[in-house]
Structure 1
Amino acid sequence: MEEQYYCCRYCKKDFVPKRRKVQKFCSNSCRVSFHRFKNVGLAIKSTELQIKEKEQGTSKVKVDEISTAGVANSAIGAGIVEIAKNIFTPEENKPATKGDVLKLAASLKRYHQIKNLPPNLMGQIPYFDLHTNKLVYLGNRLSFKS
């Protein structure tokens, strides 16, 4: 800390700086008052501009109303967008419908072969049972001719 006195730029009193070595004002109130005083010219100009803007803004502007033509135009535009999406979206990228899910469920069989498991010691092939959610071994892989 310095023991040297400084002169406040706003109130012109001598003070010892508290927070740092080079301090221009003795207090926060002097600092704020100085900047308000310094910017008085700018403040007056800005308030005059605000007053002019308010005067110009008071003139009534016609508010857009909802019209049947506007509603019809937006409905036609939305319809055209949906048609374009249906035309340009490939079939495999379209979302699944309830009918698609039902067709898929109908085409599924109860037993599905598990190809990455070897047959058991009796030669039976592993299958997954969709109804019981369990692994089952069915059929004989080895057939003996007599």
Structure 2
Amino acid sequence: MATPAARIRAGPGPIPTQEPVMRTQPFGRIPSRLIRRAGAALALCLVAMPAAYALAGERYVVVINRAHDSVVGLSTAVAGQDDYRDAALGEPLRGGGATATIELQGEGCLRDFRVAFRDGRQQLYRDVDVCRRQRLQLRPFPRDAASRRHDGAASARD
């Protein structure tokens, strides 16, 4: 008489084998090592993007005028230098939240912005990193400075 193992082999049909079970998930099981590598590659790309912008010859900055007065002139220079170049605004940038996109030429991330308002006042924004932030929000003048200017004008008339 045959042993039980021999009877199983002697039966009709092929010998049963263990095949991997196909899953119905769209991507199957993704190894955690692959996920970690993809995450590291994404992080590297995000870190390298500002450096790529720094190497490019042109950049764009969105200027948001939160001041109360209209901006009539805007000029930029590499941080620490006095070689300001006028930026093309087209028309005055109204106060209260109007925006304009300007193009910056040249290399370097740190820039100085000189802003001229309709009433003759100017503001200087120093060391703005245009590689990390592609926008410049103009602030209103402090109330103390406006009242001092107004008081000074009144005392000059007296």
Q: TM-score range by the shorter chain?
A: under 0.3
Task: Give the TM-score, by structure 1 length.
Answer: 0.25
More RCO (CA 8 Å, sep 6+): 2
- Select the structure that is richer in strand: 2
Task: Give the TM-score, by structure 2 length.
Answer: 0.23
- Select the structure that is richer in helix: 1
